[in-house]
Amino acid sequence: ATTPGADAPTWPPEFAERYRAAGHWRGETFGRMLRERAAAHPDRIALVDPAPERRTWTYRELDERADRLAAGFAARGIGRGDRVVLQLPNVGEFVEVVFALFRIGALPVYALPAHRDTEIGYFCSFTEAVAYVIPDRHAGFDHRALAARVRERTPTLRHVFVAGDPGVHTALADVPVDADPPEGGPEPHEPAFLQLSGGTTGVPKLIPRTHDDYIYSLRGSNEICGVGADTRFLVVLPAAHNFPMSSPGWLGTLYAGGTVVLCPRPDPETAFPLIERERITMTGLVPPLALVWTEAGPAARQDLSSLELVLVGGAKYGEEAARRLTPALGCRLMQVFGMAEGLVNYTRLDDDEETVVTTQGRPISPDDEIRIVDDAGNAVAEGEFGHLLTRGPYTIRGYWRAPAHNATAFTEDGFYRTGDIVRRTPTGHLVVEGRAKDQINRGGEKVAPTEIENIILAHPSVHDVSVVAVADEYLGERSLAYVILRAGAEPLKPAAIKRFVRERGVAAYKVPDLVEFVGAFPHTGVGKVSKNRLRSTAVTHEQ
Task: Name the residues that contact ligand J2J, by CB under 6 A.
Answer: 198, 242-243, 246-247, 313-316, 335-340, 344, 360, 418, 420, 432, 435, 441, 444, 446
The three-state secondary structure class of 212 is helix
User: What is the rounded CA–CA span in Å between residue 353 and residue 62?
Assistant: 39
Q: Least distance to ligand J2J from the beta carbon of 357, Å? A: 12
In the complex with ligand J2J, the residue whose CB is nearer, 154 or 242, is: 242
Dihedral class, residue 170 (left if φ above 0, else alpha if ψ from -120 to 50, else beta): beta
Alpha carbon distances (Å) from 312 to 288, 337, 428, 493, 508: 10, 9, 19, 37, 23
Q: Least distance to ligand J2J from the beta carbon of 139, Å? A: 20
User: What is the rounded CA–CA span in Å between residue 202 and residue 57?
Assistant: 40
* Contact (CB, 8 A) for 395 and 8: no
Q: What are phi and psi of 440, to 5 degrees?
A: -115, 130
In the complex with ligand J2J, the residue whose CB is nearer, 435 or 531, is: 435
Q: Least distance to ligand J2J from the beta carbon of 435, Å? A: 6
Q: CA torsion sign, 191 to 197 to 203 to 205?
A: negative
In the complex with ligand J2J, the residue whose CB is nearer, 181 or 392, is: 392
Q: Least distance to ligand J2J from the beta carbon of 254, Å? A: 16
Length of the chain: 543
In the complex with ligand J2J, the residue whose CB is nearer, 144 or 446, is: 446
In the complex with ligand J2J, the residue whose CB is nearer, 50 or 248, is: 248
Instruction: Report the residue closest to ligand J2J, judged by CB.
Output: 338
In the complex with ligand J2J, the residue whose CB is nearer, 236 or 483, is: 236
Q: Least distance to ligand J2J from the beta carbon of 448, Å? A: 12
Q: Least distance to ligand J2J from the beta carbon of 38, Å? A: 26
Other C-beta atoms within 10 Å of 324: how many?
A: 18
Q: Least distance to ligand J2J from the beta carbon of 182, Å? A: 31
* Contact (CB, 8 A) for 123 and 108: no
Rounded (10°) angle between helices 494-503 and 449-457: 100
In the complex with ligand J2J, the residue whose CB is nearer, 273 or 419, is: 419
In the complex with ligand J2J, the residue whose CB is nearer, 27 or 428, is: 428
Q: What are phi and psi of 331, to 5 degrees?
A: -140, 175
What residues does 416 pair with on adjacent strands?
390, 410
Starting at the edge strand found earlier in the chain, the sheet holding 430-435 runs 369-373, 386-391, 416-424, 430-435
Fill in the DSSP letter of residue 529.
Answer: B
Q: Least distance to ligand J2J from the beta carbon of 196, Å? A: 8
Q: Which helix (H) or strand (E) holds 477?
A: strand 476-485
In the complex with ligand J2J, the residue whose CB is nearer, 148 or 436, is: 436
Q: Least distance to ligand J2J from the beta carbon of 512, Å? A: 20
Fill in the DSSP letter of residue 523.
Answer: B
* Contact (CB, 8 A) for 204 and 119: yes
